């Protein structure tokens, strides 16, 4: 779908990246909170992977594959402001959360996990499952509106009995941006650790895990990083690394894996947070997205994102929609949400018309412009939503999310 006038191209420098994303030719793609658009360069990278396997065979491990979880982790590290040697790649956030927990030892006195009820459910499943043996207790911080989590309530829940605070930087449903610094400071004040879920912030909100002083951070590449599935990352603060011995482990965490030693001796750096053989194709697929994000810079992406989500709020209000994401841009990530009793059905009809957005219960229609989105696409989307609502051009029976 060609939705861009010459004028927009002249005033919005980031639109030059549109030609790198094939899906933008035939859709209005506003779903970077779920699956960011694939860069064309990913075709070549995946071909390169197949070519390497086909021609170099097993030698590929020694020629780069083995080190990829750490070398690719370094590229993500640049996006999240981490020092070299402090990020490794894994499959997803859920496994990274388990790995973090496996580094810690709950005691009779310090065994509390604190998180908000608006955390991503998969993350909660990990801690709830581990709490079943009675060695951990979970404190869930309530939200009053299903959109925000009061900072004071979060800080109050973190006390001397807290072992770990796994919290989202940007909430997946409402895009509420949490005060990661204040939560981390409070945790450290009482001797607890934090693991920051940066899935919905990395690549759209500038931050530095170093400045935030978090103990751990984890996220994936599927969304704002345009890197596709299977390329999750884990940051561990450099001064903590040698003090931790993860129980979720494997031969890649060994200091000399090819010695096939029967005793585990942990690697002296970030590699000790690996486990078994890595998902090499996913790492090849992810790199072109990181390169583009690093080339543009997250500051510029954020500047445009704030402008476009603010514009979307104006357009939605003019069209009589209820906006459910935070109105203060300083407390909002890259997503904008619209509540409506028929939000699920409107979403399906939008997708059928090639406006790619999604729906989440409690939040409504989720819409995410990214650096490749034109202003004209925002106008077209809200106009289409209004048209669908006003003409009731949707299937009446639709209730849940399609993806």
Ligand X SMILES: Cc1ncc(COP(=O)(O)O)c(C=O)c1O
CB of 35 or CB of 60, closer to ligand X: 35
Give how far Cα 33 sits from Cα of 7, 215, 277, 282, Å. 28, 25, 28, 19
Residues in the chain: 403
Provide the 8-state DSSP code for 164.
Answer: E
Residue pair 8/15 in contact (Cβ under 8 Å)? The answer is yes
Assess 86 for contact with ligand X (CB under 6 A): no
Q: Pick between residue 111 and residue 203 the one whose CB is nearest to ligand X.
A: 203
Q: Which of 82, 93, 195, 292 binds ligand X (CB under 6 A)?
A: 93
Q: Which is nearer to ligand X, 118 or 313 (CB)?
A: 118
* 94 touching ligand X, by CB under 6 A: yes
Residue 333 is a binding residue for ligand X (CB under 6 A) = no
- Out of 27, 32, 92, 221, the only residue in the binding site for ligand X (CB under 6 A) is 92
Min dist CB 89 to ligand X, Å, is 12
Taking CB under 6 A as the binding criterion, the range among 90-98, 181-189, 299-307, 333-341 that sits at the site for ligand X is: 90-98
Query: Which residues in the 284-313 window bind ligand X by CB under 6 A?
Result: none
174 binds ligand X (CB under 6 A): no
Mention every residue, 6+ apart, whose C-beta is less than 8 A from residue 280.
49, 65, 68
- Give the chain's radius of gyration (CA, Å): 22
CB of 168 to ligand X, least distance (A): 5
Interaction of residue 215 with ligand X, rule CB under 6 A:
no
Which candidate, 314, 287, 316, 308, places its Cα nearest to that of 384?
A: 316
> How, if at all, do strands 336-339 and 364-367 pair?
antiparallel
Q: Where are the beta strands (DSSP E) in 257-333?
A: 322-323
Q: Using the rule CB under 6 A, is 202 a contact of ligand X?
A: no
Site string for ligand X, 105-124 (x = CB under 6 A): ---------------x-xx-
Residue nearer to ligand X on the CB measure, 38 or 177: 177
The answer to whether 19 contacts ligand X (rule: CB under 6 A) is no
Say if residues 377 and 403 touch (Cβ distance below 8 Å): no
| Interface with ligand X (CB under 6 A), residue from 39, 232, 278, 364 | 232
Part of the chain binding ligand X (CB under 6 A), chosen from 92-100, 180-188, 247-255, 312-320: 92-100
Q: Which residue is nearest to ligand X (CB)?
A: 92
Name the residue nearer to ligand X (CB basis): 200 or 374. 200
The CB density around residue 38, as the number of other CB atoms within 10 Å, is: 18
Is 359 a binding residue for ligand X by CB under 6 A? The answer is no
DSSP 45-98: HHHHHHHHHHHHTTHHIIIIITTHHHHHHHHHHHHTT--TTSEEEES-HHHHHH
Stretch that binds ligand X, among 11-19, 37-45, 72-80, 192-200 (CB under 6 A): 192-200
Binding piece for ligand X, criterion CB under 6 A, among 53-61, 80-88, 193-201, 314-322: 193-201
Of 3 and 222, nearer to ligand X (C-beta) is 222
DSSP string, 349-373: HHHHTTEE-EEETTTEEEEB--TT-
The smaller minimum CB distance to ligand X, of residues 200 and 381, is found at 200
Give buried/exposed letters for 309-336 (b at 16+ CB in 10 A, else e): bebbbebbeeeebebbbbeeeebbbbbb
> Which parts of this chain interact with ligand X (CB under 6 A)?
92-94, 120, 122-123, 168, 172, 197, 199-200, 220, 232
């Amino acid at each position: 779908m060609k939705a861009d006038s010459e004028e927009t191209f002249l005033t919005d420098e980031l639109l030059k990246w549109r030609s790198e994303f094939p899906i933008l030719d035939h859709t209005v793609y506003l779903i970077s909170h779920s699956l960011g658009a694939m860069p064309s360069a990913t075709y070549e990278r995946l071909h390169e992977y197949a070519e390497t396997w086909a021609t170099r065979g097993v030698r590929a491990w020694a020629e780069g594959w083995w080190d990829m979880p750490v070398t690719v982790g370094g590229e993500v590290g640049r996006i999240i402001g981490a020092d070299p040697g402090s990020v490794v790649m894994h499959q997803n956030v859920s496994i990274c959360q388990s790995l973090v927990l496996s580094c810690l030892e709950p005691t009779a006195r310090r065994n509390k996990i604190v998180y908000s009820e608006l955390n991503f459910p998969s993350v909660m499943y990990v801690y709830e499952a581990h709490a079943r043996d009675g060695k951990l207790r979970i404190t869930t911080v309530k939200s009053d509106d299903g959109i925000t989590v009061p900072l004071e309530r979060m800080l109050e829940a973190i006390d001397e009995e807290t072992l770990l605070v796994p919290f989202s930087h940007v909430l997946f449903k409402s895009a509420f941006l949490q005060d990661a610094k204040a939560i981390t400071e409070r945790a450290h004040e009482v001797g607890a650790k934090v693991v920051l879920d940066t899935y919905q912030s990395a690549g759209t909100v500038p931050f530095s895990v170093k400045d935030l002083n978090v103990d751990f951070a984890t996220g994936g590449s599927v969304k704002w990083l345009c890197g596709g599935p299977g390329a999750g990352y884990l940051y561990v603060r450099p001064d903590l690394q040698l003090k931790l011995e993860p129980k979720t482990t494997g031969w890649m965490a060994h200091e000399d894996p090819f010695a096939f030693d029967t005793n585990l001796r942990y690697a002296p750096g970030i590699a000790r947070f690996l486990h078994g053989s890595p998902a090499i194709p996913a790492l090849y697929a992810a790199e072109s997205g990181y390169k583009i994000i690093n080339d543009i810079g997250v500051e510029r992406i954020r500047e445009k994102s704030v402008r476009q989500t603010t514009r979307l709020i104006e357009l939605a209000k003019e069209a009589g929609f209820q906006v459910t994401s935070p109105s203060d841009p300083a407390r909002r990530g890259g997503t904008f949400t619209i509540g409506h009793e028929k939000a699920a059905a409107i979403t399906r009809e939008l997708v059928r018309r090639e406006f790619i957005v999604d729906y989440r219960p409690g939040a409504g229609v989720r819409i995410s412009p990214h650096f490749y989105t034109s202003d004209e696409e925002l106008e077209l989307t809200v106009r289409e939503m209004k048209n669908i609502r006003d003409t009731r051009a949707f299937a009446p029976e639709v209730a849940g999310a399609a993806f």
